[in-house]
Structure 1
């Protein structure tokens, strides 16, 4: 029962994220393709990865990752920062332009958490948080 509930929750959340991602992708000059949107989102989720870390995470070659990063930077969705200690290493961060596309998810999630807070006791929410934290460590 728990397995089916968790799988259903993941499916719903993935669908929610995909809906937001594709709603953000617009057909106009400088907009993101679906692949670029996924790439930018992965970089955002990784924090401040290097190009090598990004390439390794999604299982592509370094030159392919560099191409994707350069496309995103040219469109203004990424910042590339050369490391002072090793000029060959470039750290990636998403820009304000990227945040304009994807910050809506956070606001909607805050509304959902507020609704849960009104529906459940603090003790129930604490138990749920412990379960979710344990699940997160297993992923």
Structure 2
């Protein structure tokens, strides 16, 4: 799901020292402030509010690792006969476009699997962080 598929979410934290200590996700900055007040923040105190961005699953998908695992398995099963069998892109420029196409397919496959098993990330990157004074 991309940012354009849904409304922006926001999170707040007490101070910038603990950059992973965000409180919940909220539909608006106003909701963040109201939640901070319910946690005991008083007018004049500062919190930090940022926009929540879903993590990019593709940063954990490495097609070259899959290919390397296949090569290792073949070497393990077939020994020296598979030693020169090379699936990597390496310095072979003409393979790059094909590699990119299949890396994208692998990323899509992983993302589809995660959605189908209902394990979408329930955590976010928080960006565009700004200090807000409670009024």
> What's the TM-score bracket when you normalise by the shorter of the two chains?
under 0.3
TM-score scaled by structure 1?
0.26
The structure with higher relative contact order (CA 8 Å, sep 6+) is: 2
Question: Could you say which structure has the larger radius of gyration?
Answer: 2
Q: Decide which structure has greater helix share.
A: 1
TM-score scaled by structure 2?
0.26
